[in-house]
Amino acid sequence: MKMKLRLFLLAALLPFTPKAFAQDPNFYIFLCFGQSNMDGAGKIEQQDRTVDKRFHVLAALDAPNLGRKKGNWYPAVPPLCRGSGGLGPADYFGRTMVANLPENIRIGIVNVAVAGCKIELFEKDTFKLYAATAPQWMTNFIKEYSGDPYQHLVDMAKLAQKDGVIKGILLHQGESNPNDKDWPKKVKGIYDNLVKDLDLKAEDVPLLAGETVNADQRGVCAGMNKLIAELPKTLPNSYVISSAGCTCNPDRLHFNAAGYRKFGTRYGEKMLSVLGYRIKQPDTQPATQPGN
């Protein structure tokens, strides 16, 4: 009889038992968003197919060809955005982070990007006005994100927050907003919404914005870099990542694999510096390393 009573009391207490898996403060989450260069357009080569076990990606989309289901964590083997994507800046950002952080810290990436989109697509309250004008091929990408890329990013970020702590945001966008002097203000609006919707503290969440293909590579949109350079004046705790010397594809819009490796490494080194970590392996990779 006493044994039955003990079992009954134990069963009654089970619903109030804390979850077996709690948020890990040593699992650093980084949100990535933007257009095609954040999606990744570099050829994935053999050297890119092996990653540290501490580097993970949260699938923001189903990718049957990769065996991934939306909302689950996987080893961060590229592509990190969609199943049909390529190498991007987030790849070597994450690799640089784990190479320089203590062994007990893991890195997680959440990547939402739409090729060809203006920054307006991520504006929480007005994106529908822009989406309504998007070409059909872009509309198909938008539909993958339930018709609302910003909200999709927030939803995926909230899932990630159950497992780790959001430590920063990576942005690569601008090719579709040439000569838009309001671009810095628009980025700040999106950042402010993310901070609010994810219950973050702005002083704890730096935003890194990468330049478009540089003038030294005859970048088609290199002029946009003058406006990107203005972002830190508008958005405190934001930093611009130089694309100088980062090689590109023949279209001069997208980086190539070697360019993304160098560019992603720079994102990582800046984030490490901002978060107060010493860089053990500074960027020494030549911009002319083979890769397309």
List C-alpha distances in Å: 41 to 53, 189, 230.
24, 27, 26
The residues, any chain, with a CB within 8 Å of residue 19's CB and separated by 6 or more, are none
Q: Active-site residue among 56, 152, 172, 254?
A: 254
Q: Active-site residue among 36, 176, 238, 243?
A: 36
Q: Which residue reads 């406006």 in tokens? A: 227
> Bridge-partner residues for 209, per DSSP?
171, 240
Tell me, yes or no, if 251 is annotated catalytic.
yes
Tell me, yes or no, if 24 is annotated catalytic.
no
Contact 127, 121 (CB under 8 A): yes
Q: Active-site residue among 197, 204, 251, 273?
A: 251
Burial class of residue 98 in the structure, from the number of CB atoms within 10 Å of its CB (0-12 exposed, 13-18 middle, 19+ buried): buried
Tell me, yes or no, if 254 is annotated catalytic.
yes
Q: Which positions are annotated as active-site residues? A: 36, 251, 254
